[in-house]
Amino acid sequence: MMKSPVRKVVFPVGGFLPVTKAVPKEMLPVVDKPLIQYAVEEARAAGIEEFIFVTSAGKVALEDHFDRHHQLEDALVSRGKEAELRALQATMPEEGRFSYTRQQQPLGLGHAVWCARNLVGDEPFAVILADDLIMADTPCLKQMIDVYERHGGNVIATMAVPQEQTARYGVIDAGGVEANPVPVRALVEKPAPDQAPSNLAVIGRYILQPEVFTHLDRKETGAGGEIQLTDAMAKLIADQPFHGLKFEGVRFDCGDKLGFLEANVAFALARDDLGAAFAERLGGYTNPR
């Protein structure tokens, strides 16, 4: 079977809570880059060509971040800061490859993805939740594209989480199979620990077939009264291949304060230019109060 290439990615950006009032959480920096930029770089490294942002708050901050800033570029040139200029230019998309649309009501992740339906059209696409930051030698989405090229259909990222945390995630029913990638038999959004079919959680990376929009079109609500992407995906399983990849890499939940702080420490320690000096400072660190 010929598989259509995955050319597009959708980034649901920004919730509706106070912290994201003007700046979406995806614009928060880990070390010196906003989360969304890590996500864009991961998608690019996986061969994605078109980038679709579904924003609610902070559209302006996002568009500005991925736009040229001529004054800044001129200032860098006049101060001879060539390396900084190149780094800045490397984040710029090719014109016409970035699109923005608005989710107008907080109806859930499924609804946010549905808002991108016309921009995606009738082809497979990826979704990245930028607050799931993944440090990996091979970018997580690239690992998933490799699975997609072998199996087709739909591919989601998964990892084992402590059983008591299943209610925070979409959870996979793998029928007890230990394979990797694992065939997905069913999906449940945020099950209580004693109801969860396994402890394999869905992490925010998806390769989906466009038929998912048919299910999202029905606007059925699920866990938390929201339109859940998990529920729409679950309906694809009967008709299409569906696999969960236990990816290689470390995932940081940047939607959570501790996870966000940990990501900053881990990404700083991993940097060639900062790691050694930062480790030295951290080593002697105590609560200054």
Q: Which positions lie near ligand G1P, rule CB under 6 A?
A: 109, 129, 132, 169-170, 189, 201-204, 228-230, 255
Least spacing, CB of residue 98 vs ligand G1P, in Å: 23
With beta carbons less than 8 A apart as the criterion, state whether 161 and 181 touch: no
What is the spatial distance between Cα 210 and Cα 240, in angstroms, rounded to a whole number? Answer: 11
Least spacing, CB of residue 196 vs ligand G1P, in Å: 12
What is the spatial distance between Cα 76 and Cα 252, in angstroms, rounded to a whole number? Answer: 33
Report the residue number, 20 or 76, with the smaller CB distance to ligand G1P.
Answer: 20
The single-letter code of the amino acid at 168 is R
**Dihedral, 152, 156, 157, 163 alpha carbons, nearest 10:** -140
With beta carbons less than 8 A apart as the criterion, state whether 171 and 191 touch: yes
Report the residue number, 202 or 207, with the smaller CB distance to ligand G1P.
Answer: 202
Structure tokens belonging to residue 164: 């008591």
Least spacing, CB of residue 63 vs ligand G1P, in Å: 23
Report the residue number, 76 or 206, with the smaller CB distance to ligand G1P.
Answer: 206
Angle at 95 between CA 94 and CA 100, to 5 degrees: 105
Report the residue number, 50 or 231, with the smaller CB distance to ligand G1P.
Answer: 231
- Residue 275 backbone dihedrals phi, psi, to 5 degrees: -55, -55
Q: How far apart are the first and last CA of the chain?
A: 63
Report the residue number, 223 or 269, with the smaller CB distance to ligand G1P.
Answer: 223
Least spacing, CB of residue 165 vs ligand G1P, in Å: 10
Helix (H, G, I), strand (E, B) or coil at 113: helix
With beta carbons less than 8 A apart as the criterion, state whether 126 and 206 touch: yes
Report the residue number, 224 or 283, with the smaller CB distance to ligand G1P.
Answer: 224
Least spacing, CB of residue 86 vs ligand G1P, in Å: 33
The residue of the chain with the least Cβ separation from ligand G1P equals 170
Least spacing, CB of residue 288 vs ligand G1P, in Å: 33
Least spacing, CB of residue 26 vs ligand G1P, in Å: 12
Angle at 248 between CA 246 and CA 251, to 5 degrees: 90
Report the residue number, 106 or 121, with the smaller CB distance to ligand G1P.
Answer: 106
